[in-house]
Amino acid sequence: MMMMMMMGLARSNLNMKQRLLRLCYYWVSLIPQLLRLLQMLCFKFNHFPWNRKGNTITLPQTFSLPSPLPQWPQGQGFASGIVNLGEIEVCKVTGFEFVWNSNIGKPVAFYKPVRIPDGFRILGHYCQPSDKPLRGFVLGVREVETASSETSNCHTLPALKNPLDYMLVWCSNAGSKELPIGSAYFWVPQLPEGYSALGYLVTNVPDKPNLDEMICVRADLTDKCEPYRLMLDAAPVTPEFPFQVWNLRPRDRGMLGEGVSVGTFFCTSCWNKGEELPVVCLKNLNPVLPAMPRLHQIHALIEHYGPTVFFHPEEAYLPSSVDWFFNNGALLYRKGVSTGETIDAAGSNLPGGGRNDGEFWIDLPSDDRRDFVKHGDLKSAKLYVHVKAALGGTFTDVAMWVFCPFNGPSTLKIGITSRAFSKVGEHVGDWEHFTLRICNFTGELWSIYFSQHSGGKWVDAYELEYIDGNKAVVYSSKNGHASYPHPGTYLQGSSKLGIGIRNDATRSHLYVDSSIQYELVAAEYLGDVVREPQWLQFMREWGPKIVYDSKTELDKIMNALPRGLRNAFGNLIKKLPVELYGEEGPTGPKEKNNWIGDERW
C-alpha cells in the first residue's frame, strides 16, 4: 500500500513538472506577441515610435564605389576637400553619430555630424531613410582669413556667429505629460540680427543644445532654398500634433545658380506650401569657381566614370556621330523652299543662334540613302559632352548627349498584351542624354540623371549597375532611346491601369563606351578653352514635324477587343502620352531647358 502511494506521488510530481514545463513554453511563445503589444502601447501613449540611443542601434552600411578613386590630376581646388565660396569656405562632413529613428511610414534616421575638421563649424544635423546606405553629408563652414576684394562685401559683421538661443520646434512625445526614454527634440536657432539659420539640431534629451553646437551665417552669404522630398509625415497618425521633415535644395539651381546645398533638412509643425522657409542655403559668391575641374581633369573624370550605353538587341535605329549623319546626305530645309541643301561635315552652313522659329529644319536624305541613314552607324557613334557647374560649383554635371538619326515606332502595352505600331512614335533626329553628377570636394561620382522622354530621374550611385570599376551601365530603350539604370520594361503612361508605351531595355552586343567614344563640345566656365561645334549652335529642329494617323491604328486595336471592353479602352487611350498623336521635330541639346537649367527633379 505504501509503495503504491509513493508511486502515485512520483507520478503526481512528474505531471506537475510537465505542466510547469508546458506553462513555461506557453509563456515563452507569447514573448513576440508581448513585444508587439509593448510597441503598440509605446506608440499609443507617446504618439510617435522611437528607438533609444545605444548599442541596439547600428548605423546603416556606408556605401563605397566599386573601385578606389584614382589620384586625380592636380589643378586649382578640384577634389581638394575644401570649396572657397568667397568670404567663407566649406568642407564636406560625412562622419555621423546616431541620434533618433522614426518608424512612421518609411523609417527615417537623424544624425549628428562628427569628426569635423579643425576650424570648421556645422550648420545643422542630417537625416535620411533608415533603409538606405549611409552616404549623405552636411557642410562644415569657416571664415576665409583674408577674403579678396572681389568677394568681400566690406561688412563690419563677421561672416559667422553663434545663435542667441534655441527654440523647440517639436518633440516626439507631444501631448504626453511624461518624457519617455528615447524621445527626440527638434531645435531651431534664434538668430542674431543680420544672420540666417541653415539647419536644425536634434537631441534625445529636453535640455537645450549648447550655443556653440552650430553656427549661423550672415544673411548676404546665403540663398533661398526649397523643400523637395517629404521624408517624414506624422500628421496622418497624430493630426493634433502635425510634424513634417523635408529634404532641402537650393531654389536657384542650374549652370548659373549660386545656391549651395548644405545637406541639412527642414522640419515644421505649421508650414504651408508656398511660404518662405525659416532656413536657407549657402551662396557661392566666388566668381572663379575654383573647385570646378580644369580641362585635363575633365578628361580624367570621363575616362574613369564614362558609362557603357547598351542598346536593345532588337534595336533597328542605332546612334551615329553627327558628322556621319551629315556626310551621308542629311539636308537642311528652309521654309517655303521645296528642296533641301546638303550639310557639310562640320555643319558650317547651318544657321546658328536665334530661336526655334520654324524657319529651318533638318531631314534625312531624299535619295536612296534615306533608309540606310535611318539605321545609324554604331561604329561612328560618340557621346557629346557638356560640362557645367551644379549647386553653386560644389558639384560638376557631366551631361552626355547621344544622337540617333531616327526614332522608331512605339509599342502599346495593354495589360498583358502588346501591339506594335507601324508608324506612331517615329520621328527624324533623336537627341537623348544622361548626366553624371560629381562631387567637387572629392571627385566622387554622386548620382546619374537618366533622361526619359519628357522627364527623368536622379539615381544615387549606390543604386547603379557597374560594369568596369566605377563605370556605370546605362540602358537605352528599344526604338525610343530613353535611358534607364536597370534592364526591364518601363511603361510610359499609366502603370496603375497597365496601359502605356513600352520602353524595353536590356544588354546586348550593341553598345557605346562613353569613356572612349566621346567628344567634349562645351564647358562654358572654362571660357574659350573648349570650342563649340557649329552644329551645336543650330537652335531649330533636327527633323520635320510629323502628324501620326494614330486614330486608324488605335481603331484597329479597339475593334479587335470584346464589345464590353471598348468603352473602357477608349477612356484609357486618353491617358497615353501626347507624343502618340504627333511630334514636332526634336531640337538640339543647346535648345533644351536643361542645357543651362537643372535637370527635372
pLDDT tens string 58-89: 668 889 999 999 999 998 899 999 999 999 99
- Alpha-carbon gap, residue 142 to 412, rounded angstroms: 56
Q: How would residue 151 be classed by pLDDT, with cut points 50, 70 and 90?
A: very low
C-alpha cell at 319: 546612334
| Cell, residue 2 | 505504501
- Domain holding 455, by residue range, is 295-321+379-529+545-591
Q: Coil, helix or strand for 141?
A: strand
Percent of the chain residues past pLDDT 70, beyond the cut: 81
- pLDDT on residue 49: 44
Q: Which amino acid, one-letter code, is at 128? A: Q
In a domain, 73, yes or no: no
Do residues 93 and 115 touch, judged by C-beta distance below 8 A? yes
In degrees and rounded to multiples of 5, residue 26 shows phi and psi of: -65, -45
Q: Beta strands of 242-380 (E only): which ranges?
A: 244-250, 259-260, 265-268, 281-283, 308-311, 331-334, 341-342, 360-363
pLDDT given at position 296: 97
Give mean pLDDT, residues 171-194: 76
506 and 587 both lie in a single domain: yes
Say which residue, 389 or 41, is predicted with more confidence. 389
Clarify whether residues 256 and 317 are in a common domain: no
* Cα(91)–Cα(121) distance, integer angstroms: 10
Q: Which residues pair with 128 in a beta bridge?
A: 109
Are 194 and 299 found together in one domain? no
- Share the mean pLDDT of the chain: 85
The answer on 213 and 89 residing in a single domain is yes
More confident residue, 131 or 239: 131
190 within some domain? yes
pTM of the model: 0.86
Q: What is the pLDDT of residue 417?
A: 77
Whether residue 540 lies inside any domain: the answer is no
Residue with the bigger pLDDT between 354 and 445: it is 445
Q: Are residues 234 and 306 in the same domain?
A: no
| DSSP 3-state of 91 | strand
Task: Tell me the CA distances in angstroms from 26 to 12, 13, 36, 40, one per residue in order.
Answer: 21, 20, 17, 22
In a domain, 173, yes or no: yes
Give the pLDDT band (50/70/90) at residue 34: very low
Q: Which residue has the higher pLDDT, 51 or 376?
A: 376
Q: Are 108 and 84 in contact (CB under 8 A)?
A: no
288 within a domain of the structure (yes/no) = no
Q: Do both 233 and 299 map to the same domain?
A: no
Q: Does residue 59 sit within a domain?
A: no
All 3 cell numbers of residue 132?
538606405
List phi, psi (to 5°) of 571: -70, -35
Helix, strand, or coil (residue 301): helix
Q: What is the C-alpha to C-alpha distance for residues 557 and 576, in angstroms, rounded to an integer? A: 14
What is the pLDDT averaged over residues 241-264?
94
Let me know whether 111 and 132 are in one domain: yes
Determine the pLDDT at residue 154: 53
Q: Where are the alpha helices (DSSP H) in 289-420?
A: 295-305, 322-327, 370-374
Say whether both 241 and 304 belong to one domain: no
390 and 512 within one domain: yes
Question: What Å distances lie between residue 18 and 15, 264, 578, CA to CA?
Answer: 5, 60, 74
- Cα distances from 386 to residues 8, 302, 475, 577, in angstroms, run 93, 11, 20, 29
Residue 175, in any domain of the structure: yes
**pLDDT computed for residue 149 by the predictor:** 47
Same domain, 251 and 302: no
Secondary structure string (H, E, C) spanning 206-260: CCCCCHHHCCEEEHHHEECEEEEEEEEECCCCCCCCCCEEEEEEECCCCCCCCEE
Residue 502 clears pLDDT 70, i.e. is over it:
yes
| Residues 279 and 301 both lie in one domain | no
Once rounded to an integer, what is the mean pLDDT over residues 136-158?
76
What 3-state class would DSSP assign to 445?
strand
**Per-residue model confidence (pLDDT) at position 155:** 61
Q: Which three cell numbers stand for residue 453?
A: 522622354
Residue 576 has pLDDT above 60, yes or no: no
Does 29 score more than 80 pLDDT?
no
Q: Are 307 and 196 part of one and the same domain? A: no
CB 241 within 8 A of CB 184: no
Structural domain count, the chain = 2
| Calpha distance 347→534 (Å, rounded) | 6
Task: Report the Cα 442 to chain-centroid distance in Å.
Answer: 19
Residue 20: inside a domain, yes or no? no
